[in-house]
């Protein structure tokens, strides 16, 4: 990703931008409403260790790969941070395998399609993101593209868009295995797509949740779609209101009921990358939502609790020391004033992280092939 600083020549624009920052992907919780209300609608739940939930804990191997990728370029990486600061060790992290990390060019010709989260299309022009991640991954043999969906629509609506856009891919990608990477709400959008449209399973080999709202967010229980629609007034926003179902799709009861009714296809590999920031890594603008969500569990990234980010039956990659924006929304790179004041913990070695994830997944898919009779 290459980023350009966009100077604010008009003080009024600066003021409006600052006022709008708290609703940039932020689910505004109305005062007085409980984050987890009493209900009989959610399916019965049990909070268990990942091993008892059918999750394959491969954090040790991912750490080996991430550290190797990070140190291969060191401080040449944007927002470089030593590996021990980039990843959080939670409880008894498994040991790595000790196997060498293949740093060569990938030969599998995989296509990674990244599905963004709530409101992305509304603030995309303001972010002014360019595609240095794409060029970087191409040098490693990976191809990545952004698969855009409605920023304010339901997961059902966006699942259909994912299906349609994969079907419309250029013929040059016909033989490329597809990895779908979902950030925030993009992750449940993807899961809904592969369940509802079986034809996708002929092409999709893996789904990766990056800070994905798999189990929803308690913040959505106290929010209304009209709160989210404020983002359409963000300076430069260019997005429709869609079907108005984004908030409902993020409510925990909605997500958990959907998971209970819809077993995930077992011919696709699933991976979960979780944001688990230390409290001093939460940007100041996200502090209020972090504290509000801490009423449920302080182990949150300001938008999601860590255990709500894990796909059932997936491979757990690691816990990132990054808040919800830092992992995927590079605000501070293109807006230095906002980054130094309000989004002040936005630095994270995203490029290195994405390269490490794709190397891990490529290695793991090869391992699965060799293990299959």
Interval 285-315: pLDDT, tens: 999 999 999 999 999 999 999 999 999 999 9
Quick one: pLDDT band at residue 210, thresholds 50, 70, 90? very high
pLDDT tens digit string along 7-66? Answer: 333 344 444 444 444 444 444 444 457 788 888 878 888 888 888 889 999 999 999 999
Per the domain annotation, does 21 fall within a domain? no
Contacts of 283 (CB under 8 A, 6+ apart): 302, 323, 325, 326, 342, 343, 344, 345, 346
Which one, of 242, 266, 265, 246, lies nearest residue 255 by Cα? 246
* Per-residue pLDDT, 138: 77
258-266 long-range contacts (CB < 8 A, ≥24 apart) are 258/155, 258/188, 258/192, 259/214, 259/215, 259/312, 260/43, 262/191, 262/192, 262/195, 264/191, 264/194, 264/195, 264/311, 264/312, 264/313, 265/194, 265/195, 265/198, 265/201
Higher-confidence residue of 80 and 107: namely 80
Tokens 């990942």 — which residue? 50
* Per-residue pLDDT, 288: 92
* Per-residue pLDDT, 129: 65
Per the domain annotation, does 363 fall within a domain? yes
* Per-residue pLDDT, 243: 94
* Per-residue pLDDT, 133: 67
Per the domain annotation, does 50 fall within a domain? no
The domain that holds 289 is classified in CATH as 3.40.50.1820
Its domain, for residue 201, covers: 59-371
| Residue 64 structure tokens | 């080996």
* Per-residue pLDDT, 370: 81
Could you tell me what percent of the chain has a pLDDT over 70? 90
Per the domain annotation, does 84 fall within a domain? yes
Q: What is the mean pLDDT of the chain?
A: 87
* Per-residue pLDDT, 62: 98
* Per-residue pLDDT, 132: 57
* Per-residue pLDDT, 32: 55
* Per-residue pLDDT, 104: 85
Higher-confidence residue of 318 and 3: namely 318
* Per-residue pLDDT, 30: 46
* Per-residue pLDDT, 130: 56
Higher-confidence residue of 235 and 117: namely 117
Residue 159 has pLDDT above 50, yes or no: yes
Q: Domain tally for the chain?
A: 1
Range 187-194 average pLDDT: 98
pLDDT tens digit string along 211-233? Answer: 999 999 999 998 888 888 888 88
* Per-residue pLDDT, 262: 97
Could you tell me what percent of the chain has a pLDDT over 90? 61
Contacts of 72 (CB under 8 A, 6+ apart): 103
Other C-beta atoms lying within 10 Å of the C-beta of residue 333:
21
| Residue 97 structure tokens | 């395998």
Other C-beta atoms lying within 10 Å of the C-beta of residue 217:
32
Per the domain annotation, does 45 fall within a domain? no
- Containing H/E element for 181? strand 178-183
Contacts of 334 (CB under 8 A, 6+ apart): 3, 4, 5, 6, 127, 128, 129
Cα–Cα dist 22/289, whole Å: 9
Per the domain annotation, does 278 fall within a domain? yes
* Per-residue pLDDT, 33: 72
Cα–Cα dist 45/227, whole Å: 29
Residue 106 has pLDDT above 90, yes or no: no
* Per-residue pLDDT, 35: 87
Per the domain annotation, does 13 fall within a domain? no
* Per-residue pLDDT, 3: 33
pLDDT tens digit string along 245-287? Answer: 999 999 999 999 999 999 999 999 999 999 999 999 999 999 9
- Containing H/E element for 180? strand 178-183
Per the domain annotation, does 250 fall within a domain? yes
pLDDT tens digit string along 322-341? Answer: 999 999 888 888 788 887 88
Range 130-147 average pLDDT: 75
């Amino acid at each position: 990703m290459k980023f350009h600083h966009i100077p604010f020549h008009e003080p009024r624009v600066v003021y409006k931008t600052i006022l709008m920052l708290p609703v940039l992907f932020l689910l505004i919780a109305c005062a007085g409403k409980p984050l987890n209300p009493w209900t009989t609608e959610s399916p019965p739940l049990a909070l268990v260790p990942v091993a008892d939930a059918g999750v394959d804990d491969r954090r040790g191997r991912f750490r080996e790969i991430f550290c190797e990728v990070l140190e291969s370029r060191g401080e040449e990486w944007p927002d470089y941070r030593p590996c021990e600061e980039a990843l959080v060790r939670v409880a008894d992290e498994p040991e790595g395998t000790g196997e060498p990390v293949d740093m060569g060019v990938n030969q599998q010709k995989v296509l990674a399609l990244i599905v963004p989260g709530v409101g992305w299309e509304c603030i995309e022009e303001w972010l002014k993101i360019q595609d240095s991640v794409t060029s970087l991954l191409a040098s490693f043999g990976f191809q990545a593209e952004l698969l855009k969906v409605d920023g304010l629509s339901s997961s059902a609506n966006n699942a259909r868009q994912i299906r349609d856009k994969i079907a419309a891919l250029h013929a040059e990608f016909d033989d490329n295995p597809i990895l779908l990477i979902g950030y925030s709400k993009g992750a449940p959008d993807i899961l809904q797509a592969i369940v509802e449209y079986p034809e996708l399973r002929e092409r999709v080999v893996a789904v990766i949740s990056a800070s994905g709202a798999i189990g929803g967010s308690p913040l959505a229980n106290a929010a209304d779609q009209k709160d989210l629609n404020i983002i359409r007034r963000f300076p430069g926003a260019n997005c429709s209101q869609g079907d108005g179902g984004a908030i409902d799709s993020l409510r925990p009861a909605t997500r958990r009921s959907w998971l209970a009714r819809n077993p995930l296809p077992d011919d696709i590999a699933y991976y979960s990358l979780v944001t688990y920031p230390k409290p001093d890594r939460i940007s100041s603008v996200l502090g209020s939502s972090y504290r509000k969500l801490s009423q449920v569990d302080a182990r949150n990234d300001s938008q999601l609790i860590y255990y709500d980010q894990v796909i059932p039956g997936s491979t757990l990659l690691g816990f990132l020391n990054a808040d919800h924006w830092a992992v995927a929304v590079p605000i501070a790179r293109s807006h230095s004033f906002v980054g130094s004041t309000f989004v002040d913990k936005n630095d994270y070695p995203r490029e290195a992280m994405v390269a490490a994830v794709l190397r891990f997944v490529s290695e793991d898919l090869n391992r699965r092939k060799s293990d299959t009779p």
